[in-house]
Structure 1
Amino acid sequence: MDLLTFLQQLINGISLGSMYALIAIGYTMVYGVLRLINFAHADIMMVGAFASFFAMDSFGISFALSVFFAILISVIVGVLTDKIAYKPLRNSPRISLLITAIGVSFFLENIVNVTFGGTPKSFDIPEYFDKIIHMGSAVLTPIVIIVPIVTVLLLCVLLFILFKTKYGVAIRALAFDIKTVSLMGVDSNRIIMIVFIIGSSLAAISGIFWAISYPILTPYMGVMIGLKAFAAAVLGGIGSVTGAVLGGFILGFTEVIFVAFFPEFGGYKDAIAFIFLILVLLFKPTGIMGINFEKSRF
């Protein structure tokens, strides 16, 4: 493999990892606040992709407007999921919340399946994303360059919100001790709603990026993507926003490079995420950037 080809695979891997990272942030933020692994989160990504597809296909609106529509629908679904499914179980055992999250995941998959049918849908890629960029012998598309840049920008915005705004302080305080913060007059349900709004928005953006990169949509597309994003969150350090992004980058890069070097084992590329997950749980359960939950959050 020559240098330019390696560079191409490197960029492809970072692009793939960026999409995992955007979903992993949602996992890690909800876990940081509620100690809940929201397995329905990846299906919100799928809802975002289908919402963008529906907006362009049925209403004929532009791609840019369909992005805002997808984010809006994903935020509504995310907030309603919390209000209807999770809020009534705030004080229940964690296993009840976990089972509920799995049930919500199945519900979203099947409601989309009933609405749009099980036949895979072809996402209409905007023309400007379909151009070819030549870098010597390497061939790239604009989306593989745009995705990492947008991911880093969104990470910077999120870190600013968490550490430089009053809502960020409230989120981190709530994550530290939800009962005490509630006693101090903070509306905990409102702050949790903001967490779901942020996570659902990032999931919708990731879903649109995924639809552009792999333009075949199915109601169950979020299952494997979600499991990999969860593995990325654990790899980077569940509860750490920066760790979730780092874990996504590492996972995406490794997956692409593995297939590039060992194409005959391409069918096993999905196993990489779970190998990482097992190794991390065995040797460093807190992840690469795992934080001390007794001292800090995110």
Structure 2
Amino acid sequence: MTLSTFMQHLTNGISLGSLYALIAIGYTMVYGILKLINFAHGDIFMMAAYFAFFGVATFNLPWYFAFLIAIIMAGALGMLIEFTAYRPLRSAPKISILISAIGVSFLLENLAVVLFGGKPKAFPTPEILTDVVVIGGVSIQKLTFVIPLVTIILLYALLHLVNNTNIGMAMRAVSKDVETARLMGINVNRIISFTFAIGSMLAAIGAIMWSVKYPQIVALMGVIPGLKCFIAAVIGGIGDIKGAVIGGFILGIGEIMIIAFLPGLTGYRDAFAFILLIIILLFKPTGIMGKNLTEKV
């Protein structure tokens, strides 16, 4: 393998890892607050792609305006799901909330099939993002540079929000002890809704960039990316934002490099994520950045 080919694969891996990281952050934020795996997260990713598609293709909005509206609508959808499917079950056993999350996931997938059809649709791709530049013999889409940059900026903004603002302090308080946070005057429902909105908007940004990179959308497009990003969150240490990003990069780069060095395993690309998950759970169940916690008796 030549150096230029290696760099081509590495840039693709970093780009894919950045997408996984963005979506994984949504999983880890919700888990950090509620200790809940939001299995509808991958389907919010899918709905956001359709919101952007119809904004451009049906309503003829400028792509940047359609993308912004799609991100806002995804945030609103996340809040709606939290309000209708999770909030009424907050004091119920965890298994009830888990079943509700799976039910919401199936609802969104089947609703998308009914509303949007089962046939794949070509996603509108702005030329400014899909233009190719050649650097040292390596052909790279401009989007490949944009994705990691957006991920880093959003990660920095999110960490600043969580660590240096009043609402971030409230989020950390709720994640530690909901009842104590409520006694301290924190509006727990508002904080949890805000967390769902932020996580869903990050998933929407990931969905839009994913759809530009792989310009075909379908009703079940969120299933595999959703599972992989959940795995990325677990690898990094679910509940830890930096861990989710690290897990996303490990998964994305690992996938691309396995295909690059062992092209005969291309058909097993998706299996790599699940094998890596099993290995992590065997040797470091809390993930790379996860902390060992003792159960309260």
TM-score by length of 2: 0.97
Aligned AA (2:4): L
**Which aligned pairs between 1:279-298 and structure 2 lie closer than 5 A?**
279-292=279-292
Give how far 1:292 is off: 4.8
* 1:136 shift after superposition: 2.6
Unaligned 5+ residue runs, structure 1?
Answer: none
What SS does structure 2 have at the residue aligned with 1:270? Answer: helix
1:78-133 CA distance string (max 9 Å, x none): 00000000000001111111111011001111111111100000001111122111
Alignment partner of 2:139: what SS?
Answer: strand
Map residues 117-266 of structure 1 onto 2, 5 A cutoff.
117-266=117-266
SS in 2 for 1:82: helix
For 2:272, the equivalent position in structure 1 comes to 272
Residue 107 of structure 2 is matched in structure 1 by 107
Hey, what's the Cα distance between the residues in 2 that align with 1:146 and 1:256?
A: 18
The aligned amino acid for 1:270 is D
**Which position in structure 2 is the counterpart of 1:31?**
31
In 1, Cα distance between equivalents of 2:49 and 2:151 = 17
In structure 2, the partner of 1:95 is 95
Cα displacement string for residues 188-236 of structure 1 (whole angstroms, at most 9, x for unaligned residues): 0000011011101100000001100101101100000000000000000
| Percent sequence identity over aligned pairs | 52
Which whole-Å CA distance do the structure 2 matches of 1:146 and 1:293 have between them? 37
The letter of the residue matching 1:256 is I
User: Matched residue of 2:224: which SS?
Assistant: helix
Q: Aligned letter for 2:69?
A: F
- SS of aligned partner of 1:171: helix
Give the Cα separation in 2 of the matches to 1:167 and 1:129: 34
Identify unmatched segments of 5+ residues in structure 2: none
Q: Distance between the aligned counterparts of 1:293 and 1:199, measured in 2? A: 24
One-letter identity of the residue aligned with 1:280: I
Aligned to 1:17: 17
1:67 to partner: Cα distance:
1.1
Q: How far did residue 265 of structure 1 move?
A: 1.2
- Mapped partners of 2:291, 2:206: distance in 1: 25
Query: Mean Cα displacement is larger for which, 274-283 or 284-293?
Result: 284-293
Counterpart residue type for residue 133 of structure 2: I
8 Å Cα contact 1:48/1:208 also seen in 2 = yes
**Aligned counterparts of 1:113 and 1:76: Cα–Cα separation in 2:** 21
Give CA-to-partner distance per residue, 1:225-265, whole Å, 9 cap, x none: 00000000000001100000000001000000111111121
SS of the residue corresponding to residue 239 of structure 1 reads coil
State the number of aligned residues: 294
Using the alignment, how far apart are the partners of 1:130 and 1:197 within structure 2? 29
AA of the residue aligned to 1:37 = I
Secondary structure in 1 matching 2:134: strand
Secondary structure, counterpart of 2:239 in structure 1: coil
Matched AA of 1:80: L
Letter of the structure 1 residue corresponding to residue 214 of structure 2: Y
**Equivalent residue for 1:59?**
59
Q: Distance in 2 between matches of 1:229 and 1:146?
A: 20
* Aligned counterparts of 1:267 and 1:66: Cα–Cα separation in 2: 35
Deviation at 1:293, TM superposition (A): 5.3
Q: CA deviation at 1:144?
A: 0.9
Mapped to 1, the partners of 2:50 and 2:111 lie a distance apart of 12
What is the letter of the counterpart of residue 107 of structure 1?
A: L
Query: Contact (CA 8 Å) 1:176, 1:293: kept in 2 or not?
Result: no
Counterpart check, 1:41 vs 2:41: yes
Cα distance, 1:245–1:73 mapped onto 2, change above 3 Å: same
Q: Distance in 2 between matches of 1:126 and 1:148?
A: 18
| Range that drifts further, 192-201 or 2-11 | 2-11
Q: How many angstroms does 1:139 deviate by?
A: 1.0
